[in-house]
């Protein structure tokens, strides 16, 4: 990343004299020449001598006047400016161990962007620079001390979106249920990271449904580290409203809460609608498409490892009491031999009963479509009489089965080419609600390979028709890891895959 506290510079610009309002200095030229009459040379000489003495005296007087003015200016500087500067320095030194401040020029409404050049910084490198911006008076930057009790609050409480948060969560009975944790409706931005980043050097990677993705990098001691910057869709297909901002808030919140997971990317910065996260520019769908084009095969053991990546990422997400709610191939990014779960814009927090503290089921208002959705959502939308409210994590487990099926067979549960055709999607949903399952090739069904057997067992677990019999994502991940240990004979087998390095 470009930019740091140690790299701050202040430049003063302007035309000397021109901007002061004073007229330019002019040298007055003599208007008459000196004439010496021939007949009175002595008198003329005396007059000339007197004139020279007068000019010399005038010149000396001018020099003295200039020196007096300079001396007066220096005296004024010593008496006024120096004490103020010394007092500022002493004050800054006294506060060195307590806090750091950033003193900013107050921007008046009539000023243009040139006023930014007059920003003054006073900081101690021991701490990061922190500035609070008042949303009620956005033209004023307030000095904020950085102390041990400091809590970053980038959004003024009067403008906070948190009171609207329950209205954005669909499916729960809010008369009975409440968020399991207070922090589920909060955000923890660190906007200064973006101010210290040179966003002008980014390169465009791709655009998804909601956001555009850019690559940026920083060079430290000769090593180049790459990151991914995500923000609003570059083409502006969607308006920015409260719902959209909340989607980005959830994405960053979950990335922060799952920092310890090796199956979810790390986040480096978040502010409003933008995040900076680990560099992993290609997803599972892209890899699968390229691999199949080039007829690159995957061993059953490597497929089993990908099963573990998927189940472990979903399980780690559920451990912080959120569900993903939109699982498909594009949501898994490849980084350092692992597929990592990503993109939590449609995530849903788990709610609990206000009286019993038990996890609340989702009973209505499934907000997504039919394509690739869970069994219970399809039951609800086709008016299946046997529908019962479902625990939220079991929705993810069913959708996880769609991914496992593709990893096992290289086939798709849903026809991507016809995902816009509502009649095709409705027919497929009715078949799945009726208990039909997509076919598994004979060479896998008849296989005695223990990796194939383990994967088919895990797939059956995810597609249990009764959601109450459906295991948790953690149970499925633990089962798969036990099977991998038994196959490899290793207590801690390597979960990474490396065949995909050949694809790109």
**pLDDT by 10s per residue, the chain, length 504:** 443 333 333 333 333 333 333 333 333 333 333 333 334 444 444 344 444 445 545 555 566 566 666 767 777 666 665 565 555 544 444 443 333 333 333 333 343 333 322 222 233 333 333 333 334 444 444 444 544 444 444 444 444 444 345 667 788 888 899 999 988 888 888 888 888 887 778 888 777 777 888 888 887 788 888 888 888 876 766 777 788 888 889 999 999 999 999 999 999 999 888 899 988 878 899 899 888 988 888 999 999 999 999 999 999 999 999 999 999 999 999 998 999 999 998 999 999 999 999 999 987 766 676 777 888 988 888 888 888 899 999 999 999 999 999 999 999 988 777 767 888 888 888 999 899 999 999 999 999 999 999 999 999 999 999 999 999 999 999 999 999 999 999 999 999 998 776 666
Beta bridge partners of 338: 335
pLDDT of residue 170: 80
pLDDT of residue 503: 65
CB of 429 closer than 8 Å to CB of 381: yes
Q: How far is CA 195 from CA 107, 192, 362, in A?
A: 18, 5, 41
Residue keyed to tokens 């430290």: 220
pLDDT of residue 358: 95
Residue 230: name the closest of 201, 253, 251, 260 by CA. 251
pLDDT of residue 86: 58
CA distance 178 to 195: 36
Residue 468: name the closest of 406, 412, 394, 358 by CA. 394
CA distance 341 to 317: 9
């Amino acid at each position: 990343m470009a930019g740091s506290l140690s790299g701050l510079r202040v430049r003063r610009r302007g035309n000397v004299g021109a901007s002061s309002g004073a007229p330019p200095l002019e040298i007055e030229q003599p208007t008459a020449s000196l004439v010496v009459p021939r007949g009175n040379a002595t008198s003329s000489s005396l007059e000339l001598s007197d004139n020279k003495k007068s000019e010399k005296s005038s010149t000396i007087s001018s020099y003295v006047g200039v020196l007096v003015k300079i001396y007066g200016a220096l005296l004024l500087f010593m008496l006024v400016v120096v004490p103020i500067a010394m007092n500022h320095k002493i004050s800054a030194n006294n506060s060195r161990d307590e806090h750091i401040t950033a003193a900013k020029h107050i921007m008046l409404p009539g000023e243009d962007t040139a006023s930014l050049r007059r920003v003054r910084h006073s900081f101690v490198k021991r701490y990061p620079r922190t500035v609070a911006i008042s949303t009620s008076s956005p033209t004023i930057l307030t000095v904020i001390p950085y102390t041990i009790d400091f809590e970053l609050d980038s959004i003024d409480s009067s403008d906070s979106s948190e009171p609207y948060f329950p209205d954005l969560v669909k499916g729960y009975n809010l008369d009975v249920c409440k968020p399991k944790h207070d922090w589920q409706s909060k955000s923890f931005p660190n906007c200064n990271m973006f101010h210290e980043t040179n966003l002008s050097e980014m390169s465009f990677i791709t655009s998804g449904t909601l956001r555009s993705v850019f690559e940026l990098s920083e060079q430290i001691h000769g090593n180049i580290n790459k990151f991914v910057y995500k923000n609003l869709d570059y083409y502006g297909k969607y308006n920015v409203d409260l719902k959209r901002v909340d989607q980005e808030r959830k994405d960053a919140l979950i990335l922060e809460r799952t920092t310890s997971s090796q199956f979810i990317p790390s986040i480096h910065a978040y502010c409003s609608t933008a995040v900076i996260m680990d560099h992993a520019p290609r997803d599972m769908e892209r890899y699968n498409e390229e691999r199949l084009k080039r007829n690159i095969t995957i061993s059953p053991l490597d497929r089993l490892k990908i099963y573990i990546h998927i189940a472990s990422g979903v399980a780690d997400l559920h451990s912080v009491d959120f569900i993903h709610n939109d699982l498909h191939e594009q949501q898994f990014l490849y980084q350092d031999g692992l597929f990592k779960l990503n993109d939590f814009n449609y995530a849903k927090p788990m709610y609990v009963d206000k009286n019993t503290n038990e996890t609340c089921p989702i009973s209505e208002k499934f907000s997504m479509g039919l394509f690739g959705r869970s069994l219970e959502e399809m039951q609800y939308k086709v008016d299946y009489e046997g529908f019962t409210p479902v625990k939220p994590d079991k929705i993810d487990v069913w959708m996880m089965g769609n991914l496992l099926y593709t990893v096992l067979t290289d086939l798709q549960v849903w026809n991507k080419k016809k995902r816009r055709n509502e009649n095709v999607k409705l027919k497929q949903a009715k078949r799945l609600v009726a208990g039909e399952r997509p076919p598994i090739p004979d060479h896998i069904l008849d296989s005695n390979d223990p990796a194939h057997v383990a994967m088919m067992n895990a797939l059956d677990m995810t597609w249990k028709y009764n959601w109450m019999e459906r295991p948790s994502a953690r149970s499925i991940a633990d089962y798969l890891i036990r099977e991998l240990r038994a196959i490899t004979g290793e207590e801690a087998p390597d979960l990474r895959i490396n065949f995909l390095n050949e694809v790109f």
